[in-house]
Structure 1
Amino acid sequence: MSNHPTTINKVTLAGVLVSLGIIFGDIGTSPLYVMTAIVGKDPINADIVKGGISAVFWTLTLQTTIKYVILTLRADNNGEGGIFSLFTLVRRSKFKWLIVPAIIGGSALLADGIITPPISVSAAIEGLKFFNETLNTVPIVIGILCALFFIQQFGTGFIGKFFGPVMVVWFLMLGTLGTYQLSQDWSILSALNPYYAYELLRMHPTGIFILGSVFLCTTGAEALYSDLGHCGKQNIRVSWVFVKSMLVLNYIGQGAYLIAHEGQLLSSFKAPSPFYAIMPESFIPYGIVIATAATIIASQALISGSFTLINEAMRLTLWPKVSVKYPTELRGQLYIPSMNWLLLAGCIGIVLYFRESSNMEHAYGLAIVLCMLMTTTLLNFYLHLKRYNKLFIFSIITMYAIIELSFLAANLSKFTHGGWITLLIASVLITVMTVWHLAKKIRNRYVDMVKFEDHKQMLIDLSNDDSLQKYATHLVYMTGASNPGEIESKIIYSILQKRPKKADVYWFVHVDVVNEPYRMDYKVTHIAENDIIRIDFRIGFRIAPRINLMFRKVVEDLVKNKEVDITSRYESLNKNNVIGDFKFVVLEKFLSYENDLPFFEKIILNLYFFIKRFSLSEAKAFGLDSSSVKIEKFPMVIKKPKELHLKRII
């Protein structure tokens, strides 16, 4: 069973602090740029401001509170959340096509995440323009991003302790500033009436486009669900009451300030945005520091979330195997070098292309709304599997389909303004995941399995054949056969024919990635006493398969239980109780030219093996010690070509 505390039921101060520091970074920094995007470059219009605030409030209520905090958090996979966790809960249903929304949603979340650190950090740093309007903030933003990505390799265990308290200060600052402005004009509270949002969409010619800006207030909701496993749903729900209150107060405060300056242009303000405009001038330097710290924490949460997402995709065989490191002892904290530097390159590219947060707003949100639609699709099947009332399911899914399709329509206008960048990145990620998934299905369809029973005696005879030189005392093969009674024909060929490999004990190790995120257990099958042993590891999709360490632990347990003798069989070493050598053999495949494949399958497999060049080898992916590993390459013949009719002539 799992050794991870999958569900944190108790609400604790520590849990709430962790939630504030990790869960709400993205959605919590949205006041930096949302009202700027809603007002735009036109003169301030009170109706647009009220309509925008009304739409923001009800978006936070319907989309974030009801859909994610109340409903979607119920769909936890042993305490873990996110679109891939949701997929694992429904993938065993009869609807095999559900892999499609999982791939699209995961790719869109990763793609839109590239723009989150640049827009958040830029919006915070642009507060410096209050002191110098001509200041070029691009180098400062890039410098902060480079430092942030550089420290990932060392882990964030130490600075992570300060995330919660800093975000508490941030949210209290949001609420205090908003309350101060609200006290100047209490009438702004009427904007909470949904009538103003309705009127904005019905009467104003640009209402549907403004809806695209409103959507920015809830882009962090998907990340909120993805980070569920860090602190538990109850802590998230309790802390969200505080977070939402502070966010709404700040939006209302900005609205009150804007209405007080109706008819003016935002560009005429001395402050670079409504967020900084509502601050007393003497407080702005402190506000910039706090805002910058909050955006760095928001970016850190997103980077960590991206690492987790890629790690889950690998375990679900939706992504090439890449190096995963564990810089600290904190559970769940990992570091993926390739993803880290790709994210940094993408963030720098975004900053250089858009230069200012106001320009980034035009591209932000298009991909993430696709992710939300995919989550709604999967959530529909989850609710059916859990036998919720069908009328309730129909009502809730229909409502969110309409809301999110409306947001999608509103965000489509961003395509030509830079939204194409995130969609292009998402398309590349979708292609990689699709190719990886389809190639695995094609390969599995043509894998040649043989019955173990038909070859068991041959292995025993080979082990006792004195005419052969011993290849290893213990010979270990990684097998993909889930049935203990079967084995790949290529493994048998490797042992018996490709230089016969005599060993005292043959070990066959199978790794099964299961839906439970932190499960770690194993099963031992003695196929032939003292000669052939099979070990089946069942590992959660968030656990790195460190087979070298896991195998060693299993062998220690077997020795302790006197199920196996690993002492060297060489007389001189045996009498001195020297442990025998272990040698791993890993079979790596390459696509044979001798394949008569359909055009589509040929394209998929060629792309698969091209991508595979940039991924980890099988040995490194399984965490095997390179000093004891033998790599054998063999051609993958999936579909043999038609028989050649050669005629012999004399």
Structure 2
Amino acid sequence: MDPPLSPGTYSNPIKKETWMHTVLLSFQSLGVVYGRLSTAPLYVFSSIPRQEFKSDESAYEYLSFIFWTLTIVSLVKYAIIVLRADDDGEGGTFALYSLLCRHGKVGLLPNDKSDSNIMQYDDDFPSRSKLESRARRAITKHKSSHYLMLFLALLGSCMIIADAVLTPAISVLSAAASLRRSLTDIKYSSSHEREESISRDIKRYVQVPVACAILVCLFTVQRYGSHRIGFIFAPIVIIWLLFISGMGVFNIVHYDPHIIYAASPKYIYKYFKSTSLRSWRSLGGLTLCVAGSEAMFADLGHFSAKSIKMTFFCLIYPALILCYAGQAAFISHTLSQKNSSGLPDEYNHLFLSAPEGVHHVYTVLALFAAAVGSQATITACFSIVNQCLALSCFPRVKVIHTSDTIHGQVYIPDVNWIVMVLSLAITIGFHDTTRIGNALGTAVVSSMLVTTCLMSLVMALYWEKSLLLSACFLLFFGSIEAMYLSSNILNFHKGAWYLAVLLVLSLTIMVSWHYGTLKKYQFDLENKVSTEWLTDLSSGLGVSRVPGIGFVYTDIVTGIPAFFSHFITNVPAFHQVLIFVSFKSLPEPFVPPSRRYLIGRVGPRDNRTYRCIVRYGYREHIRDTGDFEEQIIRFIGEFISVEKPDAESLVAPEGRMIVVGVGKQPEGDALIPLQDKEGTSAANAATQMNASSTGDAKEKGKKKKVRFMLPDHSPKMRVSVREELNALIEARESGTAYFLGQSHLVVRNGSDFLKRFLVMVYVFLDKNGREPHVALNIPHAALVEVGMVYTI
């Protein structure tokens, strides 16, 4: 029988995936992951200025670019190579960065140097001692490379967030443009000026309001979770893909069967041979044909690599190729019939390439598909923010886990509403797909370029491939993406500047939060006091020990935090049992329950002071109250019972800890939880709390405190161990208090403007953000907050 999971811990379903489960995930991924790629035909050709279609061969040239870009970037790079670089089922730029942190030792996240010493006592921690390669030694040695990798990870994350803002706007505007075109046809007048006037009125009073209404509905349903949204949206995407691929086959056969020759790279050569600065800018619009490929990797935590690949190879890729080929065939035929200057502005729109009898059907499908198409980037945004939050690179926000089996499926309400407001502002302010497309194309290709850079490092440091192979990967894919990036930068004044605004805003928030967290942590390390100070103070200076247990939450893993020493100096008393609790986020998705808790002593045995380090991955949500307190007490009891007897009279060295958890004690539990009056055991209570953390169930009523007792038959238990366990039980019965430090950051006089600005932003976010998770459900009567001024 498998051991029970600790609260906030989920099993990874990907490792036990069956074919039936793969098919189910593939179906769901259609509505979440691939809606973005599927709706790209709405605006790819429309983003190219019509003046660039000088002849019917122009359609061949652009289709050749689309075909090879989809094949090289989406199929080869992402579906075949990048999806293999998952971090235990998690994808995205921070997943790649976490792999580099563990295997390249480039982490800059707040962490105590003593953690490396603590890990040597972790018997279950897998050994990764490999021969140091020249590349790993060079990267580890140069600190500037560490900052560069963290900046790349933050930049890629900001681009995905910007993508989530821009994609819904351009998708719904493109679909609403079809509605405007349909209504214009209905209200057609013989007067051209009258028709243009009607078109402008419809755009003002119909297209933009309809787009805004769709956006509000889209962001409102996010709270139901990606698994439910996937079931709802997947049929829409399937119908849409079948419809546009059928349109593509019809247009190829009806207009230009020779369009299939555009797969030849000679048309790309022809384009480069006759290109100019103006035509080079038009390549920026073609970037949108692979928009959504990054979401295939970023949404990996919501599904599985096998299901994402199966869907892409069997349905997405062939359907998109047929659709783009059909559009190109229609454009080629239209251009060969008359001069491009005499064509309407939307001559290359997917709407006009549809047969006349299905225009209105296409309009309805496009509206539904546009809403679905934005889902991939919104889901990816939630995943990336959740990773950044766990790794101390994003302000505290509420994270709701919408699935009790796949922990990567999360919903973040604060981020959801902020992204909705920004997307509505773009829709109302720009109401132009071309300008939004310029900004979106820059975000897409920049995110891809970041992934290429990090992926080449993962190949060298984690996969341990040759430097030549890593360099070839970087140069081949990087050169293609750099080409598209250069064409997008030329359109900076035509809408791409808005991406710079979003980038500066999100990057400032992330960098400020990371900087403030790091500086506050460094201050704690520099101002901590030794454990001997606490021992000498309690024994020689008349400090009182009051009944009960005191939980002291701190970021440091050795020594006494400055805020607690400040408290004892002013109030010379602390509890009979003192437990210093630290949470440590490891750069990996999951930490097994068997090695989650590290327990050690602080000072002599008679002092009854312990230290507990709780380790968790960036995909996990640790519940810090309720049954979490019971877990710590049980594991401290286990630590007391398994501690070596020859160390009974010795003082444990600072930092020496033992890993405790499920299955660590062969004789059974040292502390047995008693049944409460309603017959609810601690294990059942933990299950209820775990279900509550997923957002699917809410705890009703106040959970009663679980009591403990010693096992009846324990002949092997030493007398000293029994006495210490009894003291722990008595302290538990007397009550519990929680000590939290309340920091107030102040910049040192003479600091430069950049430092003052970053600290100012951090203080603003800290005061206006959510409370730390550990303080959310602690009773006010038991909470003791100690304020301190941190001068940095």
The two structures have a TM-score, normalised by structure 2, of 0.73
Pair 1:121-2:172 in alignment: yes
Counterpart of 1:635 in structure 2 is 789
Pair 1:239-2:239 in alignment: no
The answer as to whether partners of 1:545 and 1:623 remain within 8 angstroms in 2 is no
Shift of 1:260: 1.2
Query: Cα–Cα, structure 1 residues 621 and 271, in superposed 2: closer, same or farther, change >3 Å?
Result: farther
From 455, 458, 478, the equivalent of 1:382 is: 458
Counterpart of 1:305 in structure 2 is 380
Counterpart of 1:502 in structure 2 is 574
Shift of 1:191: 0.6
Shift of 1:552: 3.5
The answer as to whether partners of 1:324 and 1:335 remain within 8 angstroms in 2 is yes
From 346, 353, 362, the equivalent of 1:278 is: 353
The answer as to whether partners of 1:127 and 1:271 remain within 8 angstroms in 2 is no
Query: Cα–Cα, structure 1 residues 552 and 176, in superposed 2: closer, same or farther, change >3 Å?
Result: farther
From 340, 346, 349, the equivalent of 2:422 is: 346
402-411 vs 167-176, which deviates more?
Answer: 167-176
The answer as to whether partners of 1:38 and 1:49 remain within 8 angstroms in 2 is no
Alignment of 1:597-608 (within 5 A): 597=751, 600-608=754-762
The answer as to whether partners of 2:31 and 2:375 remain within 8 angstroms in 1 is no
From 330, 336, 349, the equivalent of 2:412 is: 336
Counterpart of 1:217 in structure 2 is 289
Pair 1:554-2:632 in alignment: yes
Amino acid at match of 1:351: T
Pair 1:96-2:120 in alignment: no
The answer as to whether partners of 1:321 and 1:615 remain within 8 angstroms in 2 is yes
Indicate the SS of the match to 1:506: strand
Task: Supply the distance in 1 between the matched residues of 2:733 and 2:372 (Cα, whole angstroms).
Answer: 50
Counterpart of 1:132 in structure 2 is 183
Task: Supply the distance in 2 between the matched residues of 1:44 and 1:304 (Cα, whole angstroms).
Answer: 40
Task: Supply the distance in 1 between the matched residues of 2:670 and 2:536 (Cα, whole angstroms).
Answer: 26
Indicate the SS of the match to 2:584: strand
Shift of 1:339: 1.3
Task: Supply the distance in 2 between the matched residues of 1:524 and 1:52 (Cα, whole angstroms).
Answer: 63
Task: Supply the distance in 2 between the matched residues of 1:34 and 1:498 (Cα, whole angstroms).
Answer: 67
Counterpart of 1:421 in structure 2 is 498
Shift of 1:625: 2.4
Shift of 1:213: 1.1
The answer as to whether partners of 1:8 and 1:231 remain within 8 angstroms in 2 is no
Shift of 1:624: 4.2
Query: Cα–Cα, structure 1 residues 578 and 77, in superposed 2: closer, same or farther, change >3 Å?
Result: closer
Query: Cα–Cα, structure 1 residues 113 and 621, in superposed 2: closer, same or farther, change >3 Å?
Result: farther
Task: Supply the distance in 1 between the matched residues of 2:471 and 2:54 (Cα, whole angstroms).
Answer: 40
Pair 1:21-2:31 in alignment: yes
The answer as to whether partners of 1:115 and 1:364 remain within 8 angstroms in 2 is yes
Indicate the SS of the match to 2:11: coil
**Count of aligned residue pairs for this structure pair:** 627
The answer as to whether partners of 1:474 and 1:506 remain within 8 angstroms in 2 is yes
Task: Supply the distance in 2 between the matched residues of 1:279 and 1:603 (Cα, whole angstroms).
Answer: 54
Pair 1:167-2:237 in alignment: yes
Task: Supply the distance in 1 between the matched residues of 2:742 and 2:428 (Cα, whole angstroms).
Answer: 41
Shift of 1:606: 3.2
The answer as to whether partners of 1:327 and 1:334 remain within 8 angstroms in 2 is yes
Amino acid at match of 1:420: W
The answer as to whether partners of 2:442 and 2:485 remain within 8 angstroms in 1 is yes
Amino acid at match of 1:418: G
263-272 vs 82-91, which deviates more?
Answer: 263-272
621-630 vs 299-308, which deviates more?
Answer: 621-630
Query: Cα–Cα, structure 1 residues 460 and 285, in superposed 2: closer, same or farther, change >3 Å?
Result: farther
Indicate the SS of the match to 1:183: helix
Counterpart of 2:298 in structure 1 is 226
Pair 1:392-2:453 in alignment: no
Shift of 1:52: 0.5
The answer as to whether partners of 2:28 and 2:230 remain within 8 angstroms in 1 is no
Indicate the SS of the match to 1:523: strand
Task: Supply the distance in 2 between the matched residues of 1:486 and 1:468 (Cα, whole angstroms).
Answer: 20
Indicate the SS of the match to 2:631: helix
Deviations 1:16-35 (A, max 9, x none): 21332222121221011111
Query: Cα–Cα, structure 1 residues 110 and 594, in superposed 2: closer, same or farther, change >3 Å?
Result: closer
620-629 vs 136-145, which deviates more?
Answer: 620-629
Counterpart of 2:61 in structure 1 is 51
Q: What percent of counterpart residues are identical?
A: 24
Deviations 1:321-348 (A, max 9, x none): 1222345546333332221121111111
Shift of 1:497: 1.4
Task: Supply the distance in 1 between the matched residues of 2:265 and 2:380 (Cα, whole angstroms).
Answer: 34
Query: Cα–Cα, structure 1 residues 420 and 592, in superposed 2: closer, same or farther, change >3 Å?
Result: closer
Query: Cα–Cα, structure 1 residues 267 and 624, in superposed 2: closer, same or farther, change >3 Å?
Result: farther
Amino acid at match of 1:553: Q
The answer as to whether partners of 1:29 and 1:298 remain within 8 angstroms in 2 is yes
Shift of 1:596: 6.2
Deviations 1:452-492 (A, max 9, x none): 54145357659x97x9584x62211111113xx42323323
Pair 1:250-2:339 in alignment: no
Indicate the SS of the match to 1:481: coil
Task: Supply the distance in 1 between the matched residues of 2:249 and 2:208 (Cα, whole angstroms).
Answer: 32
Query: Cα–Cα, structure 1 residues 75 and 490, in superposed 2: closer, same or farther, change >3 Å?
Result: same
Amino acid at match of 2:262: A
Counterpart of 2:268 in structure 1 is 197
Shift of 1:252: 0.2
Shift of 1:511: 0.7
Counterpart of 1:513 in structure 2 is 585
Amino acid at match of 1:457: T
Amino acid at match of 2:318: S
The answer as to whether partners of 1:567 and 1:577 remain within 8 angstroms in 2 is no
Deviations 1:94-131 (A, max 9, x none): 13121111111111221132110011111122221232
591-600 vs 622-631, which deviates more?
Answer: 591-600
Unaligned runs of 5+ in 2: 1-8, 107-139, 185-198, 638-667, 674-706, 710-727
Query: Cα–Cα, structure 1 residues 160 and 37, in superposed 2: closer, same or farther, change >3 Å?
Result: same
Deviations 1:431-472 (A, max 9, x none): 22222223333333333354654145357659x97x9584x6
Query: Cα–Cα, structure 1 residues 203 and 509, in superposed 2: closer, same or farther, change >3 Å?
Result: same
Counterpart of 2:620 in structure 1 is 543
Task: Supply the distance in 1 between the matched residues of 2:297 and 2:69 (Cα, whole angstroms).
Answer: 16
Task: Supply the distance in 2 between the matched residues of 1:392 and 1:201 (Cα, whole angstroms).
Answer: 28
The answer as to whether partners of 2:529 and 2:565 remain within 8 angstroms in 1 is no
The answer as to whether partners of 1:448 and 1:488 remain within 8 angstroms in 2 is no
Query: Cα–Cα, structure 1 residues 598 and 578, in superposed 2: closer, same or farther, change >3 Å?
Result: closer
The two structures have a TM-score, normalised by structure 1, of 0.88
Shift of 1:9: 6.3
Unaligned runs of 5+ in 1: 569-573, 639-650
Moved runs in structure 1, 4+ residues, more than 6 A? Answer: 564-568, 574-578
Counterpart of 2:597 in structure 1 is 522
